[in-house]
Copies of this chain bind each other. A is one copy, B any other.
Amino acid sequence: MSIDDRIFADVCDHARKAAMLQTIADTLEWDERTGMPSAAGEYRAQQVSTLRAQVHRLRTDAKYGEQLATLSEQAAALPPHGDHAATIRELNVDFRRDSKLPEDLVQRLSLATVRGQQSWDAARKADDYRQFKPALAEILALKKEQGDRYREGSDATLYESLLDEFEPGGREAKLAEVFQELRSELVPMIEAIGRSPNQPDLQCVRGPFDLDRQRAFSHQVCESIGFDFSRGRLDETSHPFCTTLGPDDIRILTRYESTWLPGGLYGSMHEAGHGIYEQGLRADWFGLPPGSYASLSVHESQSRLWENQVGRSRAFWQWLLPQATEVLDSSLEGVSADEFYFATNAVGPSLIRVEADEATYNLHIIIRFDLERQLIAGDLSVDQLPEAWNARYESDLGIRPTSDADGVLQDVHWSAGLFGYFPTYTLGNLIAAQLFATVQAAMPDLEHQIATGEFGPLCHWLRKNVHEPGKCYRTPQLVQKVTGNDLSAAPLISYLKDKLSSLYQF
């Protein structure tokens, strides 16, 4: 028995149409976050909400669901990771989940999160959590309603039912366990680093550096590592992100600070890593599972790999220093690549997640993971949130935010309704380390290539092994297939220990 080609084509057309409307909504949101006039927010929220409602109607269309059910029966004999089987399987999963939400809830969520992001942006600028609190309370109530709908007839916890959208099949207890394991290794490592007499000199990354020169520098670095500017662009926003507005329109956004070079440089490389993944997906399957990213954690592994495993390596600075001297500041001529290497691997407690070093970063994630589980479970109210946030930073990292903007208001996620999203960051770090260990073994010349600015072979390896399969494999299967092992914390821990113990001599 084989699948009905006509039905398959119908289903693909239908899914592509929904994807196109989604890219239009995403274009409006990109615009909203790159300079839309301040008074335009209310109408923009209505526009985005209208489009999202159209997308939801298409994705939950009854006839489409019937066609998917028919195809599912026919697909049993297909190779499970082939394009056809994956298309049918993943569209089916999406249809079943989406169909659990009534249209009015989708509309209310859409409006609340568009307004929530506007409210967050204003509150962050005003450094005043109270301005954002009512919007957050509304979003939280709607997300609980959404989670309750999702988990009807399953044994998932309320939190898991939300997590599932970002990390399919992820289990709350399992995550808590892995995070605890990682933490138990990181805490003594960070303490040892704090005690080390060997500390980096940060002068070389503090500048100050002219913002226009930083822009040119980031553009050049992103292009060098493989981001294609004929199919993308690099802009600025308050919270960096990457968005896909079409098969040939991948946009990355970063932010620059005159006195902190790593902010703009690694922010750009991070988003370029996301962008290179999106540009490496198969365009002829755009809008369908084989042309979509595998999961958010795999997405994050790509951004982290370029940012950290590549961008924070000694070899990378051997290549980058002459460019930095030329484009950024000629006075850098006196600085060595090793000084930059150490300065960009400075480890220590800090308040802002997106600026955190590789070692402390996961502690930021664990705080958010714990707090959002408490919010969803109802064990923590939005009134208590800022104090709980500050208390956790004090207890876990030893520093206490003195402002909302540097504390609870620093991330866009909750204002956009993204509960269950944060853990994918740490999963991404784990996968990046495991992938990089694999590619290092496969390409003995890799370090030399990086040191000479030859990023093509690494990019090609990632394309073939990670990008081109798209969503034909779920995260655990993809990791197993590419690395030969199940996902594990060991590669990240050993990567960090090797690098940091040599720099800090512990």
State the A residues within 8 Å of B (CB).
17, 20-21, 23-24, 27-28, 31, 35-40, 42-44, 46-47, 50-51, 229-233, 245-251
Q: Across the two chains, which residue of chain B brings its CB closest to A248?
A: B39
Q: How far is the CA of A47 from the CA of B230 in the complex (A)?
A: 19
Q: How far is the CA of A43 from the CA of B244 in the complex (A)?
A: 12
Q: Verify A39–B233 contact, CB threshold 8 A.
A: no
Q: Verify B28–A248 contact, CB threshold 8 A.
A: no
Q: Across the two chains, which residue of chain B brings its CB closest to A25?
A: B24
Q: Verify A42–B248 contact, CB threshold 8 A.
A: yes
| Given A47-B246, A246-B47, A28-B24 contact (CB < 8 Å) | yes
Q: Verify A232–B37 contact, CB threshold 8 A.
A: yes
Which residues from B are CB-within-8-Å of A38? 230
Across the interface, A47 reaches (CB within 8 A) one of B24, B36, B39, B50, namely B24
Q: Verify A231–B27 contact, CB threshold 8 A.
A: no
Q: How far is the CA of A46 from the CA of B21 in the complex (A)?
A: 11
Q: Verify A231–B40 contact, CB threshold 8 A.
A: yes
Kindly list the 4 A-B residue pairs having the minimum CB-CB distance in the complex, ordered from nearest.
A43-B246, A40-B249, A39-B248, A39-B231
Q: Verify B230–A43 contact, CB threshold 8 A.
A: no
Q: How far is the CA of A24 from the CA of B44 in the complex (A)?
A: 9
Q: Verify B46–A230 contact, CB threshold 8 A.
A: no
CB of A285, distance to nearest CB on chain B (Å): 14
Which residues from B are CB-within-8-Å of A249? 36-37, 39-40, 43-44
Q: Verify A23–B47 contact, CB threshold 8 A.
A: yes
Q: Verify B40–A246 contact, CB threshold 8 A.
A: yes
**14 A-B pairs (CB sep. < 8 Å):** A17-B50, A23-B43, A27-B47, A31-B31, A36-B249, A37-B231, A37-B232, A37-B249, A38-B230, A39-B230, A39-B231, A42-B248, A43-B246, A44-B249
Q: How far is the CA of A46 from the CA of B249 in the complex (A)?
A: 13
Which residues from B are CB-within-8-Å of A27? 27-28, 31, 47
Which residues from B are CB-within-8-Å of A36? 233, 249
Starting from the known contacts A23-B43, A27-B28, A44-B249, 17 additional A-B residue pairs (CB-CB under 8 Å) come to A17-B50, A23-B47, A24-B24, A24-B28, A24-B47, A31-B31, A36-B249, A37-B229, A37-B232, A37-B248, A39-B248, A39-B249, A40-B246, A40-B248, A40-B249, A43-B247, A44-B246
Q: Across the two chains, which residue of chain B brings its CB closest to A249?
A: B40
Q: How far is the CA of A17 from the CA of B54 in the complex (A)?
A: 13
Which of A20, A35, A37, A230 has the most C-beta atoms of chain B within 10 angstroms of its own C-beta? A37
Q: How far is the CA of A36 from the CA of B251 in the complex (A)?
A: 9
